[in-house]
């Protein structure tokens, strides 16, 4: 099965450039596909959202032409912009497997995804929680049909099995340094306590994040811009992990924490849920707290004092191993190809 993988990552770096730490879940997902399947990559400018209409159409057309050139069986498209799932890519005579990782920012994405589905292509989400948010959006809008998807894809699997190290921090978190991910909410909620905590983050990659960075850069026990293996090592030194962003659609960092034997605390969405509840192998391995509730956070941290970290690690690796991830992904590719064949015929 030959795959064309269009991709775009910050600063227009090459996907096989391992000299710079991964900038987010999207880039990590690209690499997971690249490292495990017969893939031809096709780089798209990162700043494409600011391109004009004609430039975007030209690039969408070039994606289809590239797929033709390499005789691809499927185009795997990640993202929620028009270049990823708009009317131009929907014209592809090669099946498109559109994987949506985020929440609906604009109503237009719903009509684009429905059009893609009508043209015989396939849409995959990363969690039922994510689909529920899209459904909530549709209910608030007029003249929008229900969204049809072909299934769900796990965006990551356990990759680096680190040793269970002595606990140095009661709680830690990982997150890009911006007001959306808000990694420093951990510091703010625990500032008047004796609970030792760690933030693993990055220096801003865009000017819009500078104000958040400048406001929080002086905190102690913050590690900046570490390579992924060092992030995982430091994560293993934490007694618990706080997933600060309530709008995660899956939660790769929560998976990474669990794979290190670290139980997770989920900062709930306004309806009292969190997408990452599907990740732990046992309900004993996580706590769900009301959003930004200091007392609940402290209680959750303390509740994990004597947790069996080895059990968490082993059960997580059993649930989220590479073979299971590849099988899930291959099934989704097969479903995409078969659906398009049935549409064409």
Instruction: Give the residue ranges of DSSP H helices in 150-284.
Output: 185-189, 210-216, 228-235, 252-259
What is the tens place of the pLDDT at every residue in 219-229? Answer: 999 999 998 89
What is the tens place of the pLDDT at every residue in 58-100? Answer: 999 999 999 999 999 999 999 888 899 999 999 999 999 999 9
Q: Is residue 329 part of a domain?
A: yes
Average pLDDT, the chain: 94
- Burial of 174-186, coded b for 16+ CB within 10 Å and e otherwise, reads bbbbbeebbbbbb
**CA distances (Å), 333 to each of 51, 169, 324, 329, in order?**
30, 42, 14, 6
For the whole model, what pTM was predicted? 0.94
What mean pLDDT do residues 176-185 have? 94
Task: Residue 206: give the domain boundaries.
Answer: 171-319
181 shares a domain with 149: no
Q: Where are the beta strands (DSSP E) in the chain?
A: 3-7, 39-43, 74-78, 96-99, 122-125, 151-152, 171-174, 197-201, 222-224, 241-243, 264-267, 286-289
135 shares a domain with 56: yes
277 shares a domain with 213: yes
Q: Is residue 164 part of a domain?
A: no
CATH of the domain at 280: 3.40.50.2000
Q: Is residue 166 part of a domain?
A: no
Q: Where are the beta strands (DSSP E) in 31-82?
A: 39-43, 74-78
Counted domains in the chain: 2
What is the tens place of the pLDDT at every residue in 232-248? Answer: 999 999 999 999 999 99
102 shares a domain with 75: yes
Q: Is residue 161 part of a domain?
A: no
Spatial contact of 249 and 277, defined as CB atoms under 8 Å apart = no
87 shares a domain with 41: yes
111 shares a domain with 245: no
148 shares a domain with 39: yes
286 shares a domain with 259: yes
Q: Is residue 237 part of a domain?
A: yes
66 shares a domain with 14: yes
Q: Is residue 336 part of a domain?
A: yes
Q: Is residue 147 part of a domain?
A: yes
Q: Is residue 165 part of a domain?
A: no
187 shares a domain with 125: no
């Amino acid at each position: 099965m030959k795959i064309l993988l269009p991709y775009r990552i910050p600063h227009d770096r090459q996907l096989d450039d391992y000299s710079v730490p991964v900038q987010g879940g999207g880039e990590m997902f690209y690499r997971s596909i690249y490292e495990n399947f017969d893939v031809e990559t096709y780089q798209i400018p990162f700043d494409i959202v600011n391109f004009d209409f004609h430039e975007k159409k030209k690039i969408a057309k070039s994606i289809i032409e590239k797929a033709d050139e390499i005789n691809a069986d499927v185009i795997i498209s990640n993202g929620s912009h028009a270049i990823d799932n708009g009317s131009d890519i929907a014209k592809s005579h090669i099946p498109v497997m559109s994987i949506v990782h985020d929440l609906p920012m604009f109503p237009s994405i719903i009509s684009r995804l429905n059009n893609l589905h009508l043209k015989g292509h396939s849409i995959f989400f990363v969690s039922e929680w994510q689909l529920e948010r899209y459904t909530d959006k549709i209910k608030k809008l007029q003249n929008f049909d229900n969204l049809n998807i072909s299934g769900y894809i796990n965006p990551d699997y356990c990759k680096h099995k680190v040793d269970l190290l002595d606990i140095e921090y009661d709680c830690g978190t990982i997150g890009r340094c911006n007001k959306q991910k808000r990694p420093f909410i951990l510091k703010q909620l625990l500032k008047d306590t004796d609970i030792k905590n760690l933030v693993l983050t990055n220096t801003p990659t865009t000017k819009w994040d500078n104000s958040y960075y400048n406001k929080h850069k002086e905190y102690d026990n913050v590690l900046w811009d570490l390579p992924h293996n060092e992030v995982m090592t430091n994560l293993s030194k934490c007694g618990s992990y706080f997933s600060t962003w309530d709008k995660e659609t899956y939660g790769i960092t929560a998976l990474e924490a669990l794979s290190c034997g670290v139980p997770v605390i989920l900062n709930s969405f306004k309806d009292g849920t969190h997408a990452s509840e599907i990740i732990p192998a046992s309900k004993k391995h996580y706590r769900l707290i009301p959003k930004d509730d200091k007392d609940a956070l402290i209680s959750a941290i303390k509740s994990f004092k004597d947790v069996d970290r080895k059990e968490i690690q082993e059960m997580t690796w059993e649930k989220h191993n590479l073979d299971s991830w590849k099988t899930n992904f291959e099934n989704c590719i097969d479903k995409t190809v078969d659906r398009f064949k049935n549409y064409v015929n």
